[in-house]
């Protein structure tokens, strides 16, 4: 029986802002809808947006992993 765990992964995000108005990188990132797909044992993170004012061009996973707010559980899944 597997144990469950919760960890937080971090990413460095690079992008470009196309609109010269009052827009911040945070507003570009917040306009994305993030989903996760499991395809043949591989995890794919997909970000979609319809905002034309900017976009994410590169994401790099950072090596440090953080604990989630709740500690790891010792519960077994049935």
pTM over 0.75: no
15-20: long-range pairs with CB below 8 Å, 24+: 15/54, 15/55, 15/56, 15/57, 15/58, 16/54, 16/55, 16/57, 17/53, 17/54, 18/52, 18/53, 18/54, 18/55, 19/52, 19/53, 19/54
pLDDT tens-digit profile of 56-66?
Answer: 999 999 887 76
pLDDT at 74 over 60: no
Q: What is the mean pLDDT of residues 25-40?
A: 91
pLDDT at 77 over 90: no
Q: What is the mean pLDDT of residues 4-15?
A: 87
């Amino acid at each position: 029986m597997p144990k469950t765990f919760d960890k937080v992964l971090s990413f460095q995000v690079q992008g470009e802002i196309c609109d010269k108005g009052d827009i911040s990188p945070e507003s570009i990132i917040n306009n994305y809808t993030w989903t996760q797909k499991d395809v043949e044992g591989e995890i794919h993170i997909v970000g979609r947006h319809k905002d034309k004012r900017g976009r994410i061009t590169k994401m790099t996973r950072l090596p440090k992993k953080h604990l989630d707010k709740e500690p790891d559980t010792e519960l077994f899944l049935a």
